[in-house]
Each structure stands twice: as C-alpha cells, then as structure tokens.
Amino acid sequence: MPTVKFVNEKKEIEVPEGANLRTAAMKAGINVYNGINGFGAGINKFVNCKGWGMCGTCRVLVKNKGENCAPKTTIEKLRLSAPIPEPTVIKKDDEELRLSCCCNIEGDVEIITKPALDMWGENFFS
C-alpha cells in the first residue's frame, strides 16, 4: 500500500492504490483547505465544492513533480489555469501543484498542504 507523507503535519498514512488524496487526508484529520493564504481557512473547510474540482481551494504540492499520482484531469488543468475566483499563481511549482480532490495516489508521495499563493506575481511593483 502506498504511503502518503504530509510534511507540514508530520503525519504518514497508508492508503490503497488509487485512493483519492482529499478523501485520504480528511480521513486522517488533515485539512487541505487554506482559504487565501490562510485568510478564510476556517470557512473554506466547509465552503468548498466538495471534491468536484471546481473551487480550486484544495490545492496541495506533491513533491517530485507529482510522480506516483495519476495524471491531471482536464477539469483539474482548467481549474488550475483559471484565475477565478482567486489567482492561483505558483509558477515555479506548477507541475507539483495539484487539486487534492482530483489527485489519485499510485505510489508513495510527499504532500505539502496549504501552499502559499503568489497573489500579485513577481513583477507587481515593477
């Protein structure tokens, strides 16, 4: 069985192959929702699309460019590229950025929950 290591929470769980990351995290008591850089995280835990890949608020970083996870779905790719309702701009970690509700686990993975959003881009003040 694959092992999922949640780096920030310092927690490891074993899941069946093909398990959904969001579901596995919730079963382990880990909140994948962060609001906008922590603002609204408490509300976001309850106000989200419940795993339909529409709200984009369950984003996580999967180390090693997301290997050992199923490929991104079309819905996930569209949601991660859309700036609405919030800018999801994490350019340098693009391949590692996943929606946990759309990410199925195929092997051992390391997960960083609640990655910070770069709200204004690198050149905002230039």
For ligand FES, the binding residues (CB under 6 A) are 48-49, 51, 53-58, 99, 101
Give the nearest distance from C-beta 123 to ligand FES in angstroms.
28
Give the nearest distance from C-beta 55 to ligand FES in angstroms.
4
- Report strand pairing: 3-6 vs 109-113: parallel
Closer CB to ligand FES, 13 or 54, in the complex: 54
DSSP letter for 101, please. Answer: G
Closer CB to ligand FES, 42 or 122, in the complex: 42
**Which is nearest to 53 in space by CA: 39, 34, 72?**
72
Closer CB to ligand FES, 15 or 98, in the complex: 98
d(CA 64, CA 125): 32
Give the nearest distance from C-beta 99 to ligand FES in angstroms.
5
